[in-house]
Structure 1
C-alpha cells in the first residue's frame, strides 16, 4: 500500500481541529499520514467540484455535485440537534418578504435549510440574496447594508454582541418538521483511493474522534491555534454542539437526515436529484 500522505482540507473551526487532532499529528496507530490544508467550507466545496484533494470537509449541500468522484465517509462530519443556522436582523420580528438577505454560500446546508424554511413561512419569498464571507455578515446586518443575515457556527453565541435579533432558527424548523438531526458538514474521500484505503481512513477518523473525547485537553493547543482568536469557552461550546455521536458514526438517523435534506432540496429545484446508491460508502 502506498505511503504517500493523503491531501486533506478542512476548516480551522474548533470542531474540525478537535476531530482531526490525533490523526493529523500521527497519534492514531496504523492510520494514513495526512498533508493538511486549512480552508473555509465554501473553498473546500469548490475544491470538491474541481476534484482537488483526496479528502475534504464539505457542506452536505454540495454532495449531489461531487458523488461521482467522491464517497461520503460514514464518520467525521457534523450533524446534530439544536445547532442549526440562524436568521438575524437589526429589527426584532422583521418581515423578510422581499428583503435582502446575506448568506455565506449558495452551496451550503445553511442555504438549503434557509430556502426550505422561507418556502414554508415567507409568503412571496425573500428578496435579493447576497453572498459574503460569514464573518462579514453580522457587521453588514448591524450597519444596515443588508436587511438580514444567515449565520452559522460560533455566531450562534455572539450575535447579541452586535445588537442583533434572532428571527428564526433554521435547525429548529428542520427538526420540528422532520424529526431528524441537521446535516451540516460531510467528510468525503476520492473513490479512486479504493475500498481498503477508504475503510482504513474511516476507521482512523473514528479513532481520532474517540481520542479527542478521551483526552480533550490534548487537542486544545491545536484547536486554539486555529480558532481565530475565539474565546476558549466559545470554542468548547462549538465543539459540544458539532462533535457528537453522528461524528463517530452517521447511523440510520444520520443517513435519513442527509437523504431527507437533499430530497426536499431537489424537489424545490435547489440541487440535482441524487442517484439511489449515491450515498453508499464503498
Structure 2
C-alpha cells in the first residue's frame, strides 16, 4: 500500500523521515511517496485532505481533527524552541506599539501565528508570507516587526535584526508546558492498525537517525543546501528530542493546553 507523506525540507523533518522514505528501515507492506513543501502549504493541504500522512502546525490539526489523528511520534515540541518577534532597529516596543505595527507572520495556520496572538491578542495589522522571506522583509522595512521560525532563529542577528520578544518563552512562563509547534497526523479512515504501524515506523526512522548522529545524512544536506552543517545540527538539536520519539503524557498535555488557547482565541474572534 502506498501512502502520500508530506513534510517540510527543514533539517528536523528530513532527519526524522530519512530512513523511512529512503528505505533504510523495513517498512513492511507500506511504501511512502514523500512530498516536501513549506509548512503553510502542508497546513493548507491538510485542510483540503490531500495527504494520507502529513506534518502540520497544531492550529491546522485542531481544524482537521475530524479527519486526521495525531500520531505519538514525529512531533516538534520543546522548551526554548518558540518563534521570535524581531525588528530592524528597535528592541523595546510597548504593547500599544505592537498592536499598531505591521507584523509579518509565517502563515495564518501556523503555531507562530497562534503564539503571537496569545501574546498580543489585540494586534490586528498582520500580513502573512513564507517563513524564509520574513527576515529580508524586515531588513527592507516592508514590515516593522516579523515573527521568525526554524533556522532563522540562528541567522537573524547576522542581518542586524533584534529580538523584541521570545514568544515561546512567554508561552512557557504563562502556561508552564512545553511549546507544541507541529505534529504528524494520519488519515483516520486508514484505521487503527495503520495508525499503529505508521507510528512505529516513524519512531524507528527517527531512532535510526539518532543512532548515527551527529552525522548529517546526504538526504538532510540535499534539502538544506543554503545552510551550513553547523546550522543543520543546531536546527536538529533544537527541534528533535524525546517528544519527537513519543509525545508522552507531558507532550499531550501541552497539545491540549494549546488547543484550549486556540479555541478561546477563535471563540472571541
* TM-score w.r.t. length of structure 1: 0.90
For the aligned residue pairs, the C-alpha RMSD in angstroms reads 1.5
Q: Which runs of 5+ in 2 are unaligned?
A: none
1:249 aligns with 246
Distance 2:215 2:195 in 1: 26
Alpha-carbon distance, 1:77 to partner: 1.3
Structure 1 segment 1-282 matched on structure 2, within 5 A: 4-31=1-28, 32-90=30-88, 91-95=90-94, 96-119=98-121, 125-216=122-213, 219-269=216-266
C-alpha separation in 2, matches of 1:271 and 1:244: 34
Over 3 Å counting, the alpha-carbon distance change for 1:271 and 1:248 in structure 2 is: farther
Query: In the TM superposition, what is the alpha-carbon distance from 1:30 to its structure 2 partner?
Result: 3.9
Give SS of 1:97's match: helix
Q: Is the 8 A contact 1:101 1:147 kept in 2?
A: yes
In the alignment, the residues of structure 1 paired with residue 127 and residue 21 of structure 2 have an alpha-carbon distance, to the nearest angstrom, of 35
Deviations along 1:67-87, one digit per CA (max 9) or x if unpaired, are 111111111110111100000
**Unaligned stretches of 5+ residues in structure 1:** 120-124, 273-282
**Residues 219 and 158 of structure 1, relative CA distance in 2, 3 Å threshold:** closer
> 1:275 maps to what in 2?
none
1:279 is aligned to none
Question: For 2:32 and 2:258, how far apart are their aligned partners in 1?
Answer: 31
TM-score of the two chains, using structure 2 as the length reference: 0.94
